[in-house]
Amino acid sequence: MHVVKLAEEQVPQGVREAFERLQARRWDVARRGAKERLARLEKLKELIVARREALADAIHADFRKPRAEVEATEVMPVLQELAHAQKHLKGWMKPRKVTTPLLLTGTSSFVQSEAKGVVLVVAPWNYPFNLLVSPLVAAVAAGNVVMCKPSEKTPHTARFLAELLRDAFPEDEVALVEGGPEVGEALLRLPFDHFFFTGGPRVGRRVMEAAARHLAGVTLELGGKSPVIVDATADLESTAERVVWGKFLNAGQTCIAPDHVWVHASREEALLAAMKDALERFYGRSEEARRACQDFCRMVDDGAFKRVRGLMDRSVTAGARVVAGGGVDAETRYIAPTVLADVTPDAPIMDEEIFGPVLPVLRYESLDEVVAQVRAGGKPLALYVFSQDEATVERVLRETSAGGTCINTVVLHNANPNLPFGGVGQSGVGAYHGETGFRTFSHERAVLRQGRTSLAHLFFPPYTGKAQKLARLASRLFE
């Protein structure tokens, strides 16, 4: 305890006071029934609906995200999450009865969900509203008090969120703190009951270390190089459209965006042509048209622009061919939606998650080769398979691991609140969305009630010969 106290002394006073207000309130909030929790969620929903235009303005000011994308990828998922929680919360909160084994005759058992307590939600910049408010909805539904930290890379959205949450919740139930990495580090020194982080693996490890120090729960939503596999049976027109849409949404700054494509050699050129056509239909037939397109996002900051441009340029120097795109403008942080061909597994663009609007395409001859490459790249957050052959689909599902998978589409698994969303291994720990999110922010408490009848006394000491025989006989029931 002394070590924790010393660490907490390094926390800024305002942050520590906000935490202490939450901590003082947590039991009152945890005792609330469904009616009170639903009222808080309804207030949040009403404010989001009323301020959606201001939200679109804020996100556009941060990185020129189109209004339609704000509505589809920021507002709609959160409203869906709210509606789903409002519909099902009473059922989620009910104690769940479980069956009683023969040896526990006379007892009844159930599982009761209880709030974990004081929760920290650290959000990224790429979907700055959705990826803060969606876990917040789950945490509030589960009866927690919550500290939120938005990304400093999207300051306009952070200010919007601060005003929204201030008006939706009392400050001792939901608090928001702004700031850079130093504030993030300070928050990790506080003894939260659960840490929820969305971002990169490097910071994710630090969050997990903090959770271990406090013996707290942790959810890490990370990322990785999410592959697309296109076999010889795939419908190339729909494949091209769906992959191009999912890749260049938010200018590729999406944790589950297709990172690269493996295509069977017999279909490579046809797929490249279909992708080029889809890209031009979506964003413009010429480089000038694409640069002027209002439906295409920008890189969030100069660092992101330089990193992705560097990966693209070094890969072209190493032999990659630009099929479409390739243009850049440093002043506006514009990188054209770009498709690269003749990419090899050792190309620079394959060294790390791209997180930008550059799509490398690699050819393969045998599915064995792709499976080996996917395994070697670690467990991705998402994996996408385009095939009309069920044997191929089943093999990929059986012989690889990923946080989530779509068959003959991309990204959309994230939109179903009945599916858990999360990574595995280096792409994340834990999951959320819908009931999974409620369970993530809850402790499932085991409760057993003993009635008048009990067999337990048969096993009380002293352990006579009769007791030993009964113990052995009971064990044989499970042989």
Question: What are the residue numbers of the active site?
Answer: 221, 255
Q: Are 354 and 376 in contact (CB under 8 A)?
A: no
Q: Are 441 and 115 in contact (CB under 8 A)?
A: yes
Kindly list the distances between the CA atom of residue 204 and the CA atoms of 78, 135, 175, 185, 446, in Å, as whole numbers in the listed order. Answer: 23, 16, 22, 12, 30
Sheet holding 442-450, edge to edge: 96-98, 107-115, 442-450
Q: How far apart are CA 340 and CA 322, in angstroms?
A: 5
Angular region, 248: left φ>0, alpha ψ -120 to 50, beta rest: alpha
Q: Which two tokens stand for residue 50?
A: 């009323």
Q: Are 263 and 365 in contact (CB under 8 A)?
A: no
Beta pairing class for 321-324 and 382-386: unpaired
How many Cα neighbours within 13 Å face the side chain of 309?
16
Q: Which two tokens stand for residue 220?
A: 């890490």
Q: Are 145 and 173 in contact (CB under 8 A)?
A: yes
The DSSP symbol for 418 reads T
Locate tokens 């929903």: which residue? Answer: 45
Q: Are 315 and 348 in contact (CB under 8 A)?
A: yes
Which residues, in sequence order, are CB contacts of 250 under 8 Å at separation 6+?
Answer: 65, 69, 73, 126, 127, 257, 297
